């Protein structure tokens, strides 16, 4: 299985879901993981354990049948909550 970059920087992919909300929110370096999961016929889950931003994208990914498996969800959620409070 391969994914197809559509830009010179290789941060946009043909296999990335056509979704403006995901496109605008996702870190360019992380788009390859979404594209790979989406391109795979079995749609394997994306594993995440360190980047709390993924929790915010989980609902939108589900709309495209892309599953997120979060390791240590409680700890990651606490980190996300702390970061969110700092921004307010």
Divide the 88 residues of the chain into consecutive groups of 10 and give the mean pLDDT of each group: 94 95 89 96 94 92 96 91 80
Structural domain contains residue 69: yes
- Residue 60 belongs to some domain of the structure: yes
In a domain, residue 48? The reply is: yes
Tally the domains of the chain. 1
31 alpha carbon, distance to own chain's centre? 7
Q: Is 13 a member of any domain?
A: no
The whole domain housing 41 covers 20-87
Taking Cα atoms as reference points, which of 43, 13, 48 lies closest to residue 28? Answer: 13
Residue 33, pLDDT score: 96
Residue 67 maps to a domain: yes
- Report yes or no on 36 lying in a domain: yes
pLDDT of 83 reads: 86
How high is the pLDDT of residue 85? 81
Model-wide pTM > 0.85 = yes
pLDDT for 88: 67
55 in a structural domain: yes
pLDDT given for residue 17 in this prediction: 95
């Amino acid at each position: 299985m391969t994914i197809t970059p559509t830009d010179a920087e290789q941060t946009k992919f043909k296999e990335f879901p056509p979704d403006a909300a995901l496109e605008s929110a996702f870190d360019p370096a992380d788009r390859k993981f979404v594209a790979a999961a989406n391109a795979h016929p079995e749609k394997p889950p994306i594993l995440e354990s360190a980047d709390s931003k993924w929790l915010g994208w989980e609902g939108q990914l589900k709309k495209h049948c892309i599953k997120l498996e979060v390791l240590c969800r409680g700890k990651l959620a606490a980190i996300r909550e702390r970061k969110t409070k700092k921004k307010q």
